[in-house]
Every structure is written in C-alpha cells, then in structure tokens.
Structure 1
Amino acid sequence: MDSKVGFIGCGNMAQAIIKGMVKAKVVPNENIIVSNPSNEKLEKISKECGVLTTNDNKQVALKADIIVLSVKPNKYEKVISEIKDLVQQSVIIVAIAAGVSIEKTRIMFKNSNIRVVRAMPNTPALVGEAMTAISPCEEIDKGELKNVTEIFESFGKCEVVDEALMNAVTGVSGSSPAYVYMFVEAMADAAVLNGMTREKAYKFAAQSVLGAAKMILETGEHPGKLKDDVCSPSGTTIEAVYALEKSGFRASVIAAVDACIKKSKLMSSK
C-alpha cells in the first residue's frame, strides 16, 4: 500500500494496530505517523516500530491519507475540531470508538461528505488475534476498502458488515473476550478444586479454548457437530454437557450477548 497512515492517539489499541501493520509490512514504517499528547508512548512506539511521531494532531491531518482516530469516544469532538479544517476530501477517516457512527463522525467534522470507515476491533488485537468489523460509507471505493481491510487483517481477522450490525458486533466480539475470560477462570477454578495448581489450570483451560476456536475456524464444521464428536456414549463429556444444559448455560450466554447488544444500542442512540 502506498498510502500514508496516521494515528491520532497512541493507546493500547493504536499500538497493537501499528505493530501489526509493521510486522505485516502493510506500509513502510516511514509512512506511519502517530500523534499523542505525552512523549512516553511515542518514544516507545518509535523505538519498537520506527514510525514517525509528533505531539501535534494537525501534523497527522496534514500528512496522512488514512487517519485512524484512536482516542476515547469523549475525546472525538475535541480532536476533530482541531483537524477538521485541514483534512482533504480524499482522506479516509477510520473511527474505532464504540458508539461513534459514521453519521456522528460526519456531524463532528461538519462535513456530510467526509469519507468515513467505522471499525470495531477487540482487545485480542494486543496479541495479534483481533476480530474486527468494518463498515465503510458509500463514497469508499473497492480499492480503498481493500487498503483499510489490509490494516485490520495485519493483526487478526476482519469482516465488512453493514453498519446496522455494529451493535451485534459489540455483543458477539467487541465485549465477548470478557465472557471467555470468565469461562476460562471458572474452568480453572474447578480444576484447582480437584487438586491442580492455579498456573497449570489456567494453561489447560486457555489452550483448550484456543484450540476449540481454531477447530471451528479451520474445519468449517458446525460447532454442534464438533461438540457431538467429543461426546462418547455414557462418557465424561456428555455428562458435563448435561450439567451445563441443566444450569441454562446456553440461555445464559444468549442473554448476556443480547444484554450487551441492547446496551450498545442505547449508548449509540445518545
């Protein structure tokens, strides 16, 4: 990709994206510019990735062809007010804050034609295993969408979705690492209860979740089929599945994801 990519904000997510891009050689290091108020994070990312850094958001606006707004949602309006008069019409704005729609971003820019891609990565970006959903505005062409997709595929998987599904994305991937951590912790607790050390319990539980997820992605099999393959007649696994069903495991998960989506819709409407 020949584009220059700029990041306003250098928090954990921005650093994860930058490291993914550099590792995958999506763009040359010197074509990435990052701004942040303090120098500590800038010095760290410059040392690790060899990218350009600045304390001035306006420098990013002036130099970048793709600008990733990697600040908290409550900082968007302030940051956009600084750069809105400097952003050329050809620039692509990538908004990664939860609840900030394409329309809201355009309103803050006071420009209904500003070219926006809304994106939602999740925290496994920090280990190169993010799941990201992106929604482009109508003005983004196929080549430009391919460039943005390459950025997010450099540190995980990426899918293009209709913006109307972004709240569902929040429930099924944006917030779901927290549910998985609770599941791993609970499995480990049971192993500790039965004599295993805490360290080993976490390793066994986490690797099992990782492997099971990889089986779904790489085999393309239905999760129910993979579950059936593990359940021998009168065996230990079907006994565990029965206990989960008795306690409403699947219903609890569905309720949790649905509650998350409803909360996301409420936040998005404000």
Structure 2
Amino acid sequence: MGSKARDTAHFARAIGYWYDAKGHKANAAEVVPVTVETRRSIPRNRRFRLHYAYATSAHAWLPQYVKEREDVLASNLYFIGGGNMAEAIITAVRKHDDRYPVDHIYVEDISEARLSYLEKTYQVTPATPRDTPDNVDIAVIAVRPQDDVTGVATSIVNRFDQRTTSVVSIVAGYTIAQLERTLGGERRITRIIPNTLTTVDYGYSGVSSNQAAADAPDSVRKGLDAWLSTFGKPLHVEERLIDVITGFYPPNLVYHFIDAYVDAGVLAGLPRDISKAIALDTVIGGTELLKQRDVLPQVLLNINNSPGGVGITEAYTLNKTGFAAAIQSAVLAAVERTTKLGKEAQ
C-alpha cells in the first residue's frame, strides 16, 4: 500500500467520516480525499476545519480531510511578508492545527515566485496590499526592519478593523511605541521575535504586548497565546528584554560551534561523516544531561576535568584562545545590532 493510501486509511479511521468534493458527508465506501483542486469547493465556514498533513512525495502541506468542528472556532491569519521567518511560523501552524485551528492563511509578498511557492507548499492564499479579507483575527507584520514598516502599519490601519484584528510584529528592533505611532494605542499590538527552531518545536521567543492587548477579552488573549505556542516557547517579558533575547537565542551560534567541532575532528584525522555524527550526538547528549541534572555546566566540567587529564587540557586551551570571550562578544554584538536595526527602521 502506497503512502497516500496509508494516509487515507489512517485519516478515515481517525475521524470516522469524510466529506466529498461538495462538502457532503461520505461513508467509508465513498471516501473522496481532499485535493488542492477540490478544497476550494468545500464549505468554508466556521463549522468546518480543514486539516493538513505533510506529503513527503509532494514536499508540501496538503489538505487531508474536513472535519466538523464542535469545540473551537478557527482563525484567519494575514501575513504581510512571506520570508523565512513567516514560513517557519506557517509550517508550525500547519503542524499544530489541533492546537490552533486555522481556516485561512493569507500572505502578501513582493515576490510572485515566493507567493507561488508558499501557496503550493502550505496551501496559503496569495494576497495583495489591496485585499481586505473578512474576519482576520491576526495580522502579522513579517517584513525586514529596513523595509517600509510604517507603510505596512498604515496599510493595516486602512484595511483591518482594530476591534477584530490583533497585530503581531516580528520585526527585529522595531518597538511597540514605534508601531503605536501609526497603528494607534487602541490597537492590540504584540511583539515577538521567533527563530527557525520553531519548525522543530524548540526555541524560546520573547513576547511583549501593549496595554490594549493586555486589556483584551479573555478569549482574545487565550487565542493569541494558543497561536504563539504553535511556534516555539513564548516568554512574556518586559519589552526591553526582547532585543536581548533576539540577539542571544539564534541557533547560528550553535551551528558555528558544531561546524568548528566537526572540522576539529577532521583535523585530528576523523572522516567528516564520523566527526559530524559524534559531534551532533555529543551536543545533544551533553544538553540532555545538563537538563536532567538541572545544574550549571561548571558542575559537570569540574567532574570531567580530572588533574592533568584530557578535559582540563581542553579547558586550558579554550581559555588561552579566548573561547568564552568570543562567544560573549558575538552575543553582545548581535544584541546591539538588533537594537540598531529598530532605530534605523523606516
């Protein structure tokens, strides 16, 4: 049985019934899998939820079945900007549609090729700055700091009702005060700077909101938190800490370390594939041991660094070459750059 047939059988068992291309219930003998072509004819109202699953053969998130929903209303998301970070969030939302159900994901971007890719891969609805779709729950500002953020904010004011649409900015360094100058203080505004680890359910993100968002109805605040939890681990902090977290958390630092670690193994004589396997296993295992013991790294270093041994020799060499200072300098520079980007933003 092919993977598509297995998926079909699995989903049919999971929900007990399907909907055909016209949205009518079908029994097991009349199952009609939802395809990209038929999904547009399925009833698009808040009594139904379209579920997605990743199709390896197509390298895309495709609609698998429509299930009648009895508990929670699905939301509509609107992304202005369809770059890598927006894509990471969309991937996580599709992956966790049981946690935060979504009816529509609209994306506007200056690149038609990019929109075509996102539509094919994630089944988003391409949009333009002239579109005003109904019932948008969250509008996401996902452009770069050097883009026209003020123009994007003005576009939101002109198109989306502040009573129904919350605004979330993932623009590095761009403050809530800067956003309020255009959006107004009555608009619900939240800042969060996630990272690409969201696609694998890791990565802490600093979150801060203005007073209007804090005073929003309980259902709105819970809905926003549910959405934020689909892509990483949100930390509600004072806004001044968001730039610090943004400069501190990117996995690039880890990638640089692993890259140097693998090269070190190759330099010492290991084949690259063996060096990479050992390096990754050591990083993952060492991290897991730190979490299990719930201690600072220095505790385990003291255990491993026996007198005159290999561990203490490594520690001496790292200290002599400025290893710790290099990491700390890189983080401080990243934090400073994050803040500077916000000040330079339009």
Equivalent residue of 1:67, what SS?
strand
Distance in 2 separating the partners of 1:229 and 1:10: 48
Distance in 2 separating the partners of 1:97 and 1:217: 31
Per the alignment, residue 202 of structure 2 pairs with 129
Equivalenced residue count is: 266
Distance in 1 separating the partners of 2:228 and 2:280: 24
Cα deviation, residue 182, structure 1 = 1.9
2:254 aligned with 1:201, yes or no? no
Question: 1:140 aligned to 213, 218, 236, which one?
Answer: 213
CA deviations on 1:58-115 (whole Å, 9 max, x unpaired) are 5366431111111222132232232312221232111001111111112233x23221
Cα deviation, residue 235, structure 1 = 3.0
Question: 1:155 aligned to 231, 241, 244, which one?
Answer: 231
The worse-fitting range, judged by mean Cα deviation, of 228-237 and 86-95 is: 228-237
TM-score for the superposition, normalised by structure 1: 0.85
Equivalent residue of 2:212, what SS?
coil
User: Structure 1 residues 64 and 251, CA, compared in 2 at 3 Å: closer, same or farther?
Assistant: same
User: For residue 224 of structure 1, what is the amino acid of its counterpart?
Assistant: Q
User: For residue 136 of structure 1, what is the amino acid of its counterpart?
Assistant: S
Q: Does structure 2 retain, via aligned residues, the 8 Å contact 1:9–1:69?
A: yes
Equivalent residue of 1:196, what SS?
coil
Cα deviation, residue 134, structure 1 = 1.1
Question: 1:190 aligned to 258, 264, 273, which one?
Answer: 264
User: For residue 44 of structure 1, what is the amino acid of its counterpart?
Assistant: Y
Matches for 1:1-270 after TM superposition, within 5 Å: 2=73, 3-25=75-97, 26-51=99-124, 53-59=125-131, 62-73=134-145, 74-90=147-163, 91-109=165-183, 111-141=184-214, 143-173=219-249, 176-217=250-291, 219-270=293-344
CA deviations on 1:110-158 (whole Å, 9 max, x unpaired) are x232211011112333444333211111222465444333333323222
Q: Does structure 2 retain, via aligned residues, the 8 Å contact 1:17–1:152?
A: no
User: Structure 1 residues 106 and 193, CA, compared in 2 at 3 Å: closer, same or farther?
Assistant: same
**Which structure dedicates a bigger proportion of its chain to helix?**
1
Distance in 2 separating the partners of 1:191 and 1:226: 22
Distance in 2 separating the partners of 1:59 and 1:185: 45
Distance in 1 separating the partners of 2:330 and 2:198: 23
Distance in 2 separating the partners of 1:69 and 1:121: 13
Distance in 2 separating the partners of 1:48 and 1:29: 16
Q: Does structure 2 retain, via aligned residues, the 8 Å contact 1:95–1:119?
A: yes
Equivalent residue of 2:226, what SS?
helix
Please tell me the root mean square deviation across aligned C-alpha atoms, in Å. Answer: 2.6
Q: Does structure 1 retain, via aligned residues, the 8 Å contact 2:91–2:199?
A: no
User: Structure 1 residues 246 and 30, CA, compared in 2 at 3 Å: closer, same or farther?
Assistant: same
User: Structure 1 residues 58 and 229, CA, compared in 2 at 3 Å: closer, same or farther?
Assistant: farther
Cα deviation, residue 10, structure 1 = 1.8
Equivalent residue of 1:154, what SS?
coil
Q: Does structure 2 retain, via aligned residues, the 8 Å contact 1:61–1:67?
A: no
Q: Does structure 2 retain, via aligned residues, the 8 Å contact 1:10–1:70?
A: yes
Mind listing any 5+ residue stretches in structure 1 that lack a counterpart?
none
Identity among equivalent positions (%) equals 29
Q: Does structure 2 retain, via aligned residues, the 8 Å contact 1:96–1:121?
A: yes
Cα deviation, residue 28, structure 1 = 3.0
User: Structure 1 residues 15 and 247, CA, compared in 2 at 3 Å: closer, same or farther?
Assistant: same
User: Structure 1 residues 29 and 268, CA, compared in 2 at 3 Å: closer, same or farther?
Assistant: closer
Distance in 2 separating the partners of 1:83 and 1:61: 12
If you compute each CA radius of gyration, which structure gives the higher value, 1 or 2?
A: 2
User: Structure 1 residues 64 and 216, CA, compared in 2 at 3 Å: closer, same or farther?
Assistant: farther
Distance in 2 separating the partners of 1:12 and 1:230: 40
User: Structure 1 residues 60 and 24, CA, compared in 2 at 3 Å: closer, same or farther?
Assistant: farther
Distance in 2 separating the partners of 1:120 and 1:229: 37
Equivalent residue of 2:234, what SS?
strand
Distance in 2 separating the partners of 1:105 and 1:69: 10
Cα deviation, residue 218, structure 1 = 5.1
